[in-house]
Structure formats: structure tokens, C-alpha cells
Amino acid sequence: MTIHIGAQPGQIAETVLLPGDPYRAKWAAETFLDNPQLVNEVRGMFGFTGTWKGHPVTVQGSGMGMPSLSIYVNELIRDYGAKTLIRIGSCGAMQEKVKIRDVILAMTASALSTPSRGIFKELNFAPSADWSLLRAAAQAAETKQVKTHVGGIYSADVFYDERPDLNEQMTRHGILGVEMEAAELYNLALRYGVRALAVLTVSDHLITHEALPPEDRERSFGDMVEIALEAAFS
């Protein structure tokens, strides 16, 4: 057990999917895993471990924002031996070519600041995904015929953003979408020598102002989970 994860030794798989919402973790585990067992509910941040095609998998909620994700990822890697960590979550599109329900595979993740900034000091470190996971996810998406975009994303510090000038520059420089966690996930994975990827479903659009209706979100997120699982074990 750790401060934030109540699982016993051996209850966390080496492959971990990381949705921000603990109830999305519950949905994903119950929908895609065989025999999912609740292994964590500290602070209501559910974690479940089961199997997918015979492979052990944990689905652990990570909360909203990079500081929260950093807590769970540090403990998953250092205390439970996680080796492959894939964020599955929603994002807002920042390019007209990216549509609602499309999937984004984050090759890189830009950020104004991350919890790791104190380590890097004046260096603008460029965190990136694991190439083997990125390639496998792209192949899985192509096989499933899911509309997918591969490129850079922006991990924001705030949800209620008041920097339209910054968003304009992100769009101008080809950033595909915005979310709140992937940059620190990539920092930590590179620091500890493990694999990481963010597989994101577009739920909102910053240009067209479209939004996925709440009742459609779980159904639309299924492709994202399947792509993540296929990539993890390719």
C-alpha cells in the first residue's frame, strides 16, 4: 500500500490504463476486462485489475490535472512496478481537421508548466511518447478504421482558460488538441525508463464549439480504450 493507492503487492498489473475520472475507470474495467477486481478506492479514486485476452491490466483513475496524475504515476511506477502507462481521456480539438469523436495519439505534449519544472529549471524539456506504443496504437486505429490524428498536444494547467492568445499560437503551430495530464505522464515515464502514451477522444472543439453530448461520451470512448489495449500488447 502507498499513501494514495490501497492495493496490496501483486494487485497492480505492469500495464496500467489511466483515465482521469474514477467512474470512467470503473466503466472501462467492467466493459473491457475479464474478472475486474476493485484494488483501490482511497479518496474515491477507483482502481481495478483484471485481464484482457489473458493479459493482466489495471485501470486506475488519476484525477484532474498534472499534479494529481503525478501522484498516482509516481506510486504506480516506484511502488508497484508499472511498466506501461497509457492515459485514456478526453480532449478539446484545436484544428479544424480534427472532428468530434476522432482519436488523437499524442506524439509530444507541450505545457506552460508541469510538476517537473523544478527539476528542469531553465530547460524547456520536450516530453514525448514511447515510439513502440505510438506505432502500435496507430496501427490498431488503422485496423479498426478509426479516424485518428498523430501529433503534438497541449497539456494545460487550467480548465477555464483565459489565454486566447496562447490558444491561437497552439493552433497556428499545429497542436491537435488540449487536455491536462499527458505532459507530466511523459516526463515521469522518461525519467523512470518506462513506456507511456496518451490516447485521447475528442469531446469538445475549441474552434467550432461543438461538444459531445454526455450520453454519447462512454459509447464514443470505446474505440480509445480498445486502441490503448491493442497497443499495450502488440
Q: Which residues are known catalytic residues?
A: 204
Tell whether 89 is in a known binding site: yes
Residue 90 annotated as binding? yes
Q: Is 87 annotated as a binding residue?
A: yes
- Residue 207 in marked binding region: no
Helical (H) or strand (E) element with 18 = strand 15-18
Residue 203 annotated in ligand binding:
yes
Residue 122 annotated as binding site: no
Cβ–Cβ under 8 Å, residues 22 and 61:
yes
Q: Is 195 annotated as a binding residue?
A: no
CA distance 172 to 36: 43
- The single residue listed with the C-alpha cell 466503466 is 27
The span from the CA of 42 to the CA of 82, in Å, is 19
Q: Is 1 annotated among the ligand-binding residues?
A: no
Structure-block grid coordinates of residue 149: 490524428
**Can you tell me which residue has the cell 484525477?**
63
Q: Is 179 annotated as a binding residue?
A: yes
The single-letter code of the amino acid at 40 is N
Angle at Cα 153 formed by Cα 147 and Cα 157, nearest 5°? 135
3-state SS assignment for residue 176: coil
Task: Cell numbers for 148, please give them.
Answer: 485518428
Identity at 227, one-letter amino acid code? I
4 marked ligand binding residue: yes
Do residues 224 and 106 make contact, with C-beta atoms less than 8 angstroms apart? no
Q: Kindly state the cell numbers that stand for 75.
A: 506510486
Looking at this protein, which amino acid is placed at residue 175? Answer: I
6 assigned to a ligand binding site:
no
Which residues contribute to the annotated binding site for phosphate? 20, 24, 43, 87-90
Which residues contribute to the annotated binding site? 4, 20, 24, 43, 87-90, 179-181, 203-204
